[in-house]
Amino acid sequence: MASSFDAIESKIFNDPIHGHMDFDPLLIKVIDTPQFQRLRHIKQLGNCYWVYPSANHNRFEHSLGTCYLASKLVQSLKNGLDNDLEIEITEKDIFLVSLAALCHDLGHGPLSHAFDGIFLEKLELKKKHEDLSVEMLDRLLKENDLIPKFKERFNDFDDEVDIEFVREQIRGPKENDVLIGLKDNKKRFLYDIVSNKESGVDVDKFDYIARDCHHLGIKSTFDHSRYIKLAKIIKSGDSYKICIREKEARNIYELFHMRLVLHDRAYQHKTCKAIELMMMDALYSAKDHIKVITSNKELKLEETVNNAEAFEQLTDNTIFGLRYTTDPNLKECRELLERIDQRKIYRCMYQGDISLKENVDMILEDYKDKIIIAPVNLNYGMKNLNPVDHCWFYEKSNTKECFTIKKEEVSQFLPQKFSEKRIRIYYKGVDKEEYEEIKKKLIEELNKQHTN
C-alpha cells in the first residue's frame, strides 16, 4: 500500500538565475503553505523598485533560489568527502539544511528590511527578522501538520532536535553558541551554509547577489557555481571546515565586492533611501489606526511582531492599501504615499563624513521637524574587518590540510579599508525656498567650522 508521502509530487521551477530548479517533494509541501506563499507579496528590494523598475522580484523566488543552492552545496560536499574522514552527510542532513534555506526569510515584514530595520527601530522594538522567521516556521509546521510527514520519510526524525537544528541555522549561530540541534559536533560546518557567521560566505548571499544584479541590470563578477563545485570538507584539528581552492580567493573577494556595489548603487542609493524613509514615516503615522484581526483578538501593528498569526497577514499590501484610504486618521499617511507617486520625495541636501554628525545636529537644531539625518554604512559584511581573512582554503595537490590566505598574497589591488561610514541629510518638506535656505545655512556653517 502506498504511503501518503508517495502521493506528494515533486516540482521543477524555471528560474532566470539558476535555470530549472528541482525540489524535494517534502519541500514542496512547505512551499505550498500560506505562510510561505505570503513571500510572493513582499518585494525583495523594497523601495528600490521605485528607482529600478525591473527590481520587482520578491522574497518568494529568493527563498526558492537559496534553498536550491543549499541543496546543491551540501550534495557537492557529500560527494567530495574523502574516505578517511569520520563523518557522513545523510539525506536528512541535506533536507534539514535545505529546509532552513527555504524558510530563512519567512520573518520579513512589509518592504523587507525597511520594516525590520527602520520601522521596528522607530518603535524601539529589538526584534530581528531571523527571530520572526523562526516563529513563522513554527507556525507553518504546526498549522499544516508537517512534522508527521517528515517522520514518515525519515525514521530517525526527532522533531525537537531536528527542528531546533533548522531554527539555529536560520538564526545563524556564533562561534561559542551552545547548539541544541547538533547531534554530531563534527558536522558543525553545516551551520555555515545558510547563514555563515564566521566569514559571511553562504548561499543566501550567492542567490541574492546573482538575483538582485539580474533585476537591477548590474553585471555580477562573482561566480557561485565555481564555489559550489570546488568546496570541500577538510579536518583542521578537532573541527571540520568548508574549504575552497586557493585559486578561488580572488573570486571570494568578488563576492564581497559585489555586496558593496549593491549597497552603494541600490540598497543604500540616496533616492531608494529617501523613498524608504517616506514609506516608513507613512506606516509609523498610521500605526495606531491599523488593526490586525486574529482568531481571538485584535492587535495593533506593533503587537504583530509577537504574534505569528497576526504577522502572517502583513505584506507590502499593508502599506500600499493605505494609499487609497479615506479614513481622516490616515491623512498624513495617505499624503506621504501620494507624494511618492508624484515624485515629491524627501530631498538629499547633504552627504558627508559621519564624524560631522554632532556638528550637523547642532547647526540644524531649529529644523529637527524638517530633516532626517540618516547613516550610510558601506562595508564587506563584517564592519571594518576583511571577511576573506576568515575563509579557509586548500591546494589541489593536498586536500588534507587547510589554511588562510593573507590579502597581499592574492593581489596588491585589493582594498586597504573594508568599511566606510557617511551621513545623509534629507529635507522632508516640499518648499523649495525653505530647502535652499536650510541647505545654505548648513554648508556655510560646516565650511566655517572647517576653516576654524
Cβ contact 340:275 at 8 Å = yes
Q: How far apart are CA 33 and CA 317, in angstroms?
A: 19
Straight-line distance from the first to the last Cα atom of the chain, in angstroms, rounded to the nearest whole number: 87
- Cβ contact 112:58 at 8 Å: no
Residues 6 or more apart in contact with residue 231 via CB below 8 angstroms:
73, 76, 77, 80, 242, 243, 244
Which residues participate in catalysis according to the annotation?
129
Rg, C-alpha atoms of the chain:
24
Interatomic CA distance for residues 323 and 216, integer angstroms: 26
Residue type, 328: P
C-alpha cell at 76: 557537492
Contact of 69 with 343, CB cutoff 8 Å = no
Torsion of the alpha carbons at 49, 54, 55 and 57, rounded to the nearest 10: 120
Q: Which cell goes with 343?
A: 515624485
From CA 166, how far away is CA 158, in angstroms rounded? 12
Contact between 123 and 286 (Cβ < 8 Å): no
Residues in the chain: 452
